[in-house]
A and B are shown apart, each in its own frame.
Chain A
């Protein structure tokens, strides 16, 4: 499924790299501990988190993730957004909780790293 479809279906707000929404989402991962994300998230995954500081962009870029969804209305730092723009990583925000976002992503057929 294309990232732009996910953005539309979940009514996510695109906060950076709006030109990179054509990418295919290969799966999903949710965690707020960055080392867990480093260990498990796969290339092309969409990552759901509460963290809004700039290091989430470094993690997403190193793992070649498709996008980061920042939940519960957390406002990402301005530095996060400018770095994400630079690296071409879409940051998507939503007032929904992580639980609900993951549930909806699963409903769209997006699965976790275990197959």
Chain B
């Protein structure tokens, strides 16, 4: 399954105004191409917007300059050699729009305007790459800091096994509050700086187990999320009726849900498969079909993953 990478997400979240170059070097239509050559060289840039009376009227690039040089037209005015009415992007649009523009038009730069059409900056592919990388780096630092604080809980509170346990009661047939336990656990994990991909897996696991308790149990149950230094243990425990044939319950499409529950889009028989897919370890117990316990482990770091593989 394709996952959207953080970089792709950032391209949607970050605005053009945050990554563009704000100090724009501009020229006027009356500048000569010879003057343009000096301006481009002195500022080490490959193009500039052409502005007249505060209005953006065109754009001129080093390619235009080379053509003028070859034709011996260095005395010509910029106004006669520029591309008039250039394609612009807006500062409040997301970077992904600019990426599409670059691909569609093939230009090397776009003037950036505000909502009133006033020139506020210029955008090149390099600006986008630098801007997104800077954003990634800032997020990385924030995450590192949070993770450092999180790991300190485990260093400061010393025991043979220190953990934080979140306990959520789930009532049978309570469809109105369905998803609340998973939401609480998801929020707590996010606050504890667990990586987003792992939070997503934990959310899917707790949601499916929560729905199973709501749909199938006679007296409800409990979801526990225990966060240890290197793993999250999620447990769903109920007091019956239990699962007579666990092997069968794990078959995709097998479900004992009544029709009215299926009509709501539950009970498709793939819930436990979803859990299995997101789990690094899973153990279902239902001795004598009296009660059910589903225990899932999601590893928080690579060392733990290797150890799990070696044990298996």
Contact = CB atoms under 8 A, between A and B. Distances in A.
A11 B69 CA distance: 54
B64 to A, nearest CB: 33
A54 B176 contact: yes
Given A32-B265, A39-B204, A58-B183, A53 B4 contact: no
Interface in B204-224: 204, 207-208, 211
Interface stretch (B121-129, B141-149, B163-171, B266-274): B266-274
A56 B277 CA distance: 22
B268 A33 contact: yes
A26 B204 contact: no
Q: B interface, how many residues as a size bin? A: 20 to 34
Interface in A13-56: 24, 26-27, 32-36, 38-40, 42-44, 49, 51, 53-56
A40 B270 CA distance: 12
A113 interface: yes
A83 to B, nearest CB: 9
Given A34-B265, A53-B264, A62 B203 contact: yes
Interface of B: 1-4, 8-9, 12-13, 94, 96, 175-176, 178-180, 182-183, 186, 200, 203-204, 207-208, 211, 264-266, 268, 270-271, 274, 277
Interface of A: 24, 26-27, 32-36, 38-40, 42-44, 49, 51, 53-59, 61-63, 79, 113-115
